[in-house]
Amino acid sequence: MSSPFRSIVVTTALTGLLAACGGQQPPHNGKPMTPEAAKAAATVALRDLSLGSSLVRGPSGIVPQSAAKAGLNARVLGGLEGLGIPMRQALEAGCEVKVEPLPFTDKDADLVPAGATLKVDCALDHNGYSYAFKGTLRVEDNDDNFKDSGFRLSFQGFSDKATKGDYSVERSFDGSFALDSKDPALYKLDKNYVLTSKQTKAGQTNTLGATFDTTETYAPDDPSKPVLAGDFAVDKDKPGTLTVQKNSDVYNWNWYTDPTLHYTLSCAAVTGEGVWIPFDEGAVVYTYSDSKGQSANLRLEFTGCGSYTLTLDGKVIN
């Protein structure tokens, strides 16, 4: 790889990651909700919504070819992209995903192992920028006798780190997420994972954690072409949970869709931090109650491709 191209790849990956993590200002436990705290929660939430759509769509750019080279279904790596791991840039810069064992058991020939371990250990650097990610992931077919039944991906010591000058962001991932696609008319997504981010600036470190526990459904507009468009839903009676923690300060949220969130592959919109948000209508509601019994409703409503309004108790805050 030429040095100029390598510079572009590394700079693109690092700029997005550092911007996304550096812009978050977590709320304080026990205090009333504020617009700034609500915006911070929305920033974290948008990345989680992106994960769901990435599992349906699969990865972009060079990632499908790299997955095929490793003998894997591309959707397995698509979930990592949804979490903000710059898979495309890393693979273009020469990183590899190793699969053990090879060959793996795959009775239904859908390129999802009955059980296998994915290993990555990669470091990139150029002109003051550096990025590294390493660890293992366990991938398991939901039913290795049922083609395209879906999979579960579990983190095992997985982390990444971006550095520029005296500022760095180190993230670790724990838990798992799963896609159940046995029913072509109604997919099920289970997300139970923790993202921890340590931000260091001039020797001072702050820790931000986000815990996600949600069951979603995805109903394709056309079950024969599920990747094109469909509706994501989280039941109000069985809401998902999002916990945002900054050091010892915690906010606990419940959330659901109202109405359902419509995804479309043709929408290529991204946030300022580079998070893909392929939704053109629908809304997500986050409800909060602090330790003093005060409550707040945060509503994120899409009004067009990538266009959304953020309101806190009915007042626009974005």
Residue 292: per-residue pLDDT = 78
Q: What DSSP character marks residue 117?
A: E
Mean pLDDT to the nearest integer, 38-52: 87
Residue 1: per-residue pLDDT = 44
Residue 69: per-residue pLDDT = 73
Rounded CA separation 133/145 (Å): 33
pLDDT at 300 over 60: yes
Mean pLDDT to the nearest integer, 238-266: 89
Mean pLDDT to the nearest integer, 221-227: 95
Rounded CA separation 219/184 (Å): 8
pLDDT at 2 over 60: no
Q: Which of 51-65, 208-222, 248-262, 291-305 has the lowest mean pLDDT?
A: 51-65
Q: Which residues pair with 182 in a beta bridge?
A: none
What residue type is 50 in one-letter code?
S
Residues 14-40 pLDDT 10s: 445 554 444 433 333 466 788 888 887
Rounded CA separation 13/88 (Å): 9
- Residue listed under structure tokens 């791991």: 85
Which residues, at least 6 apart from 263, have a Cβ–Cβ distance to it below 8 Å? 53, 56, 218, 229, 230, 231, 232, 278, 279
Residue 9: per-residue pLDDT = 41
Between the CA of residue 50 and those of 44, 58, 82, 237, 305, what are the distances in Å?
A: 10, 11, 5, 23, 14
Between the CA of residue 153 and those of 65, 103, 192, 276, what are the distances in Å?
A: 20, 19, 11, 20
pLDDT band for position 105 (cuts 50, 70, 90): very high
Task: Give the residue, 304 or 27, on which the prediction is more confident.
Answer: 304
Residues 141-199 pLDDT 10s: 999 999 989 999 999 888 989 899 999 989 899 999 999 999 999 999 999 999 888 88
pLDDT at 280 over 90: yes
Rounded CA separation 151/112 (Å): 7
Rounded CA separation 190/166 (Å): 37
Q: What DSSP character marks residue 160?
A: E
What residue type is 269 in one-letter code?
A
pLDDT band for position 285 (cuts 50, 70, 90): very high
**Contact, 53 vs 82, CB < 8 A?**
yes
